[in-house]
Structure 1
Amino acid sequence: MAKTAQERADIKAEKRYEKMHKRSFHLKPGDIIFNVLNYFVFGLFALACTFPFYYIFINTISDNDLVIKGVINFIPRGLHLSNYMALINVSDLSNAFIVSIGRTLIGTTLMVAASGFVGYLVTKQEMWGRRFWYRFLIITMYFNAGLIPWFLNMQMLGLTNTFLAYIIPGIVVPYNIILVKTYIESIPAELEESAAIDGASYMTIFRKIIWPLSKPILATIAIFGAVGHWNSFTDSLILMQSAPTLYTLQHRLYIYLNTASNLKALMESGGQISDAALKSAMSGKVIKYTISMVTVIPILCIYPFMQRYFEKGIMLGAVKG
């Protein structure tokens, strides 16, 4: 079908506008210099952030003798994957890996569910004592009794040497509740009102309207919770003294780091150690690198898929206080 004169005129006008638009955004020499410096500085910053991971990784796949000598700096040599395969046969590491996976999945799931539901409740003006309970939650962010009272409290509650010590204290997180509350308040109230007119209960509104629309902020706090559970080892160090089977992967790494450091200090001071201990100290460096990569890889694999939710959720959840 032939185009009318008006359509041809509109197309020409659009082309002229595009040309003018491109000319108006032509970069000046100063802008080009700024962009080059900007990319250069942030490129160096990105390199400084990623190089430690690269350094550890190439030391885990290089010849162990060369790693012990400290000659692997930029390029891997003698490639192999035996270090990672050897970890499968170490019983305490596989058990610690299972414990870390379990606490991360269960703890994060319960934390997200509690944050979503409590964040929704405190947005309801008709909730009994809403201001009191919300302020009661917030005030816990500013006061901390300290490590010893915390340990005594956990001990009196029977949360030592038990897996529940990893889960229960982290279910309610005030900061995450604030983010969820703020995000839910940005959702149009007409959606809830129309559902309430149709006879929907609070639970139905939360499950069918609020929860699906809150996926960005829920994904954001899920990242916070997962990283926190995965990297945590202080609770394992303090609360699981009589339950080595409940040590987390980070706690096991901490033990290996301390063992290698103590043996190294003993050798430097001229102390006598056995050949077995000497071999353990030398191989401990490789073990530390390998376990470090194993602890980092899961987060590095998950974060890129969650990044778009993280950026959107953290911005929308922080607009209002």
Structure 2
Amino acid sequence: MPLALTAVQASNAQYAPSFRPVIIVFGGTSGIGSGLVRAFATHIPPHIGAHIIVIGRSKPAADALIASLPPNSNSRYDFVRVDALLVHDLRVFIRQELFGTLELKKINYLVLSQGELTVDSTARTSEGLHPTISLIVYGRARAALDLAPLLQAAAAAGEDARIMSMGDPGTAGAINLDDVALDKMGTFAMRAAMMTYIDISVVSLAARFPDLAVMHVGPGFVATGLGRGMPFYLRLLWTFMAWFLAMTVEESGERMMMLLVDPESKKGVFLKDHHNQPVALSKYFDETARAVVWKHIEERSAL
């Protein structure tokens, strides 16, 4: 049964960890990521506080977001800018800024919400990757792999250690192991296949790091900047649909926080919708596909 927003907010208000959490939100300057940042900063008990690290491309958007967060002497809010489109740049950023400048010793919650929909199926980055796939498939998986030691440090201390990748579980599409890079697919088939790839990624990460909780969650239909890579006429359609059908970024953020801190999500794989209800793995998921696709993602993202 769908959960009312008031019930979600009441659940989040009960969040009171025994540790000071460190949360990193990729794609946190706008859309769903910013909603989650705001919800987390609002509900963390003032006497505990949190270290919230917002990662994105827009400093003005980040400055506005951080200025809107509740003041808390026990909380620290950082923005670190990166254009995560290129996987090599993302990896350098992680080494230099997160391990280096910020000197992080642990991460409790790693949220991967970076992405945009580029409908031109022939578009490629300088690394030869489709921009959407680079952000959502390779970049997210590589960020999780490279930051896993900091999540494992939190788990070793008996604290929450969770990875959340935002997508759309339950809507995954067919994949072609003869086209594992999704080079030959049209835009909408590629989008569906990427949801299967996220399923594969979370299962593979959970197997690699059994002390972590790894999630593929669906935030629902939210008015975000996802359509910025669309042609003008599709952006108009997206805006029109969002006006009438989408939930607010604030509501989505509350719902995503509820999933992220759910005390039942301790270790293993979790696929859930925005009402915190379980969703089945893609019917296109099997062990053969998982092994082939995950090997490709690991190798292709080691740039």
TM interval, short-chain normalised: under 0.3
Give 1 or 2: higher strand fraction. Answer: 2
**TM-score, normalising length: structure 2:** 0.22
| Higher-RCO chain (CA-CA 8 Å, sequence separation at least 6) | 1
Name which one, 1 or 2, has greater alpha-carbon Rg.
1
**TM-score, normalising length: structure 1:** 0.21
